[in-house]
């Protein structure tokens, strides 16, 4: 699961010639003026430029407040299964900006990978409190609420994901989650079995129903 929101503004900046502007700003600015270098690295990362990763690492090492660079670098760490590295970055972002939903959802995914399902549920709840329009995050929240036995909250999260524009595989998972809730309510499936299945699941796989 990728935790990075990859918001549309990043693509808009790039399409509007943002790279050239950031490059010029980085060239003219003194070394301690890091924002242009950070956004240039972020823009390159979003364009799948692998050379940006080292730039992101350098920025993060130099600036404890470079949260956007940390978000992209944590996304890279998760995609390469560097879970300890991602966890460290999520905690650093959280220390600077606890109102950002991304470190909460990132730490929830780390907890899920370690089969700490109750902690993962708590963290996803904090994440969707801060931003409740990301369908992927809402489906994860609904899935964790299901195994915790909070069926009403699980249903609300799955339905919110569909209302927020979930499509493709994410929409399929939301619908499967709703179908699973019906099976639990009818007695055909037990919450304990859902939890046991998640505990025994390969943590590299998506946890959705």
pLDDT tens digit string along 97-114?
Answer: 999 999 999 999 999 999
Looking at the predicted structure, is the pLDDT value of residue 144 above 80? yes
pLDDT digits (tens, 9 = 90+) for 110-137: 999 999 999 999 999 999 999 999 999 9
* 139 φ, ψ (degrees, to nearest 5): -65, -40
Question: In this model, does residue 7 exceed pLDDT 60?
Answer: no
pLDDT tens, position by position, 27-39: 777 777 778 889 8
The H helix count followed by the E strand count for the chain is 12, 0
What confidence score (pLDDT) does residue 13 get? Answer: 44
Give the mean pLDDT of 60-81. Answer: 96
Question: Mean pLDDT across the stretch 164-181?
Answer: 97
pLDDT at 198 over 80: yes
* pTM for the whole structure: 0.84
User: Mean pLDDT throughout 25-51?
Assistant: 84
Which domains are assigned to the chain? 18-97 (1.25.40.10), 122-209 (no CATH)
Mean pLDDT, the chain, whole residue set = 88
Query: What share of the chain in percent tops pLDDT 70?
Result: 87
67 C-beta neighbours (distance < 10 Å), count:
20
Specify the 3-state DSSP secondary structure of 119: helix
Where in the chain does DSSP place strands (E)?
A: none
Instruction: Count CB-CB contacts under 10 A for residue 109.
Output: 26
Tell me what pLDDT residue 10 has.
Answer: 46
Q: Which of 33-37, 141-145, 180-184 has the lowest mean pLDDT?
A: 33-37
Quote the percentage of the chain above a pLDDT of 90: 75
Of 152, 126, 158, nearest in space to 140 by CA: 158
């Amino acid at each position: 699961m990728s935790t990075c929101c990859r918001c549309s503004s990043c693509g808009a900046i790039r399409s509007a010639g943002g790279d050239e502007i950031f490059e010029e700003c980085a060239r003219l600015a003194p070394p301690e003026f890091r924002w242009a270098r950070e956004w240039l690295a972020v823009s390159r990362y979003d364009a799948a430029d692998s050379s940006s990763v080292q730039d992101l690492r350098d920025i993060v090492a130099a600036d404890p407040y470079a949260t956007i660079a940390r978000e992209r670098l944590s996304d890279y760490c998760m995609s390469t299964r560097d879970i300890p590295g991602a966890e460290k970055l999520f905690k650093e972002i959280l220390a600077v900006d606890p109102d950002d939903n991304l470190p909460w959802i990132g730490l929830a995914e780390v907890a899920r990978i370690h089969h700490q399902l109750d902690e993962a549920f708590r963290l996803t709840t904090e994440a969707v409190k801060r931003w409740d329009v990301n369908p992927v995050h809402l489906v994860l929240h609904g899935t964790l609420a299901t195994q915790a036995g909070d069926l009403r909250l699980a249903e609300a999260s799955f339905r919110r994901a569909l209302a927020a524009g979930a499509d493709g595989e994410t929409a399929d998972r939301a619908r499967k989650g709703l179908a699973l809730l019906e099976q639990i309510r009818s007695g055909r499936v037990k919450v304990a079995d859902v939890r046991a299945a998640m505990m025994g699941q390969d943590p590299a796989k998506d946890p959705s129903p």
